[in-house]
């Protein structure tokens, strides 16, 4: 996609038990972009911001179906894709409550 940048980075060995990879997604365009995210077997914690919006955090649960999202213009997301084992250990939350769900934290 034009004006969309996506990159992934593997975790350091110390994080490998819980983290599959780190990734960044940036929309450099002036227009929002619709994307379809396919299930990948992990849950994601994303921190994103767009023009004139403070960073927000979003917890994306384990997806079992494709999900459509709109990437705002001039926005960037920094994300961590966690392995399933990390959900209950790090978040102290049952993985079943995260199936096909997302939690948005706008209180920053």
Question: Is residue 14 predicted with pLDDT exceeding 90?
Answer: yes
Q: What local confidence, expressed as pLDDT, does residue 106 receive?
A: 59
pLDDT confidence bin for 108, thresholds 50/70/90: very low
Give dist(CA 10, CA 87) in Å, integer: 19
pLDDT in tens, 56-90: 998 888 888 998 989 999 999 999 999 988 877 88
**98: CB partners within 8 A, 6+ apart:** 43, 59, 61, 62, 87
This prediction has a pTM of 0.83
Structure tokens at 10: 């593997």
Per CATH, is 4-105 categorized as 2.60.40? yes
How high is the mean pLDDT of the chain? 87
Mean pLDDT of 13-24: 94
Question: Is residue 107 predicted with pLDDT exceeding 70?
Answer: no
Question: Cα-flanking dihedrals φ and ψ of residue 54, to 5°?
Answer: -70, 165
């Amino acid at each position: 996609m034009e004006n969309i940048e996506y990159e992934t980075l593997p975790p350091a060995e110390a994080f490998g038990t819980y983290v599959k990879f780190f990734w960044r997604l940036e929309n450099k365009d002036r227009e929002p972009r619709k994307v379809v995210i396919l299930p990948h077997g992990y849950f994601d914690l994303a921190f994103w911001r767009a023009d004139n919006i403070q960073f927000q955090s979003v917890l994306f649960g384990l997806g079992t179906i494709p999900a459509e999202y709109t990437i705002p213009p001039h926005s960037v997301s920094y994300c961590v894709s966690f392995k399933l084992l990390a959900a209950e250990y790090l978040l102290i939350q049952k993985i079943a409550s995260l199936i096909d769900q997302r939690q948005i934290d706008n209180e920053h």
